[in-house]
Chain A
Amino acid sequence: MSKFKSDDIESVVVERVNRHLDAEVDSLSSSVAKDISQARMNALRQARTEKESSWTFTNWLPSWQVSTPVAVAVMVAILVSYESEDQIPAIPSTMFTENIPAEDLDMLEDYEFAAWLAEQDIEVTS
């Protein structure tokens, strides 16, 4: 079948069916037509009510005017409260004052002195 003939047939079918569909819609009873327009009016009324009830303060402003300050505030809060895990922990000062007794330090000094004396004796004898 040639392309021309195929297009011709298509237009005839479409034209015929459309004509009948249009005729059918045009001859809808007045009660059905009234129901349809009533449905439209109900829909418009319902949509208006839904729009009014969904009104909020943010509807006043474009979204970026609300979202940008919120995003900046969140970022600042994160940066301020951030603590690096790489920080070196401070040595507790109590370790020096409480855990090491004073007499132990004196004893260490005595050992150092004894070691120095022994070195001196070795140097003299050699």
Chain B
Amino acid sequence: MSRSESDSITDKVPISIEAFLQDVEKKAYRIALFSVREHAEALDLLQDAMVKLVTKYADKKPNEWKPLFYRILQNRITDWHRQQKVKSFIGFFTNSDGEDTTEDYSHAAPHYDELPDQSMETSQQQQAVMDVLKTLPAKQQQCFLLRSWEGMSVAETALAMGCSEGSVKTHFFRAVTKLRALLEEQHDVKI
């Protein structure tokens, strides 16, 4: 792992809960967007998770905020997926006129400011990496993002995911292996 355990949030304790939320909001939004693929839904989940953290856990130690926040966010994402399943199940019976119920994710991608100096190759590589990340199973994707991108320790990731440290290590190893293989095979990115 390129980021050591010491880079974890435990060494960069935020001053206040507002500062903490400001620090994690963009990454948390992106992680939520990976799962729900809708800008508005991702924002709702982010806001719900923030409300719960501030209401219930603001008095906890600042170094516990990050795993707790991501635990709440992941629970919200899981609930959202359950609701979607129920909706699609009900929709299966109610839309008997053959109407196409496939969700349109064309607007799901986040919007970016145009960067004139951003080369076409870099942009394509970035898109390739995002596409590969999306193909990972949910647990592996979640584990990789929390562990490597958010720089959380194994213990913190385990707390955030609600699983054992052994499972975190397994998910992370499989995610890295799959990412490497996919990047090399599908996108000709040499590692």
A25: interface (CB < 8 Å): yes
Q: Render A43-58 as a binary contact track against B, CB cut-off 8 A, 1 for contact.
A: 1101110110000000
Q: CB-nearest residue of chain A relative to B21?
A: A40
Query: Within the assembled complex, what's the spacing in Å between the Cα atoms of A24 and B112?
Result: 8
Identify B176's interface contact among A10, A22, A44, CB under 8 A. A10
Q: Tell me whether A14 and B50 are in contact (CB under 8 A).
A: no
- Residues on the A chain within 8 Å of B25, using CB: 36-37, 39-40
Binds B, one of A27-35, A64-72, A95-103: A27-35
CB distance B27 to A25 under 8 Å?
Answer: yes
**How many angstroms between the C-alpha atoms of A18 and B46 in the bound complex?**
21
Please list the residues of chain A having a beta carbon within 8 angstroms of any beta carbon in chain B. 7, 9-18, 20-25, 27-33, 35-37, 39-40, 42-44, 46-48, 50-51
What are the residues of chain B within 8 A of A11 when measuring CB–CB? 1-2
Give 20 A-B contacts (CB < 8 Å), ordered by A residue: A12-B191, A14-B148, A17-B133, A17-B148, A18-B3, A18-B149, A20-B130, A23-B122, A24-B112, A27-B113, A32-B29, A33-B26, A35-B43, A36-B25, A36-B26, A36-B43, A40-B22, A43-B48, A44-B50, A50-B51
- The answer to whether B180 touches A40, judged by C-beta atoms less than 8 angstroms apart, is no
Tell me if A42 and B47 are in contact (CB < 8 A).
yes
Tell whether, in the assembled complex, residue A43 and residue B51 are in contact, meaning their CB atoms are under 8 Å apart: yes
Q: Beta-carbon contacts of B51-66 to A below 8 Å, as 1s and 0s? A: 1001100100000000
Partner of B51, one of A9, A12, A30, A46: A46
Interchain CA distance A14-B58 in the complex, whole Å: 32
Q: Judging by beta carbons under 8 Å apart, are B113 and A13 in contact?
A: no
Q: Give Cα distance in the complex from A30 to B145, angstroms.
A: 23
Question: Are B191 and A36 in contact (CB-based, < 8 A)?
Answer: no
CB distance from B30 to the nearest CB of A (A): 6
Nearest-CB distance from B152 to chain A (Å)?
A: 13
Neighbouring A residues of B2 by C-beta, 8 Å: 11, 14-15, 18
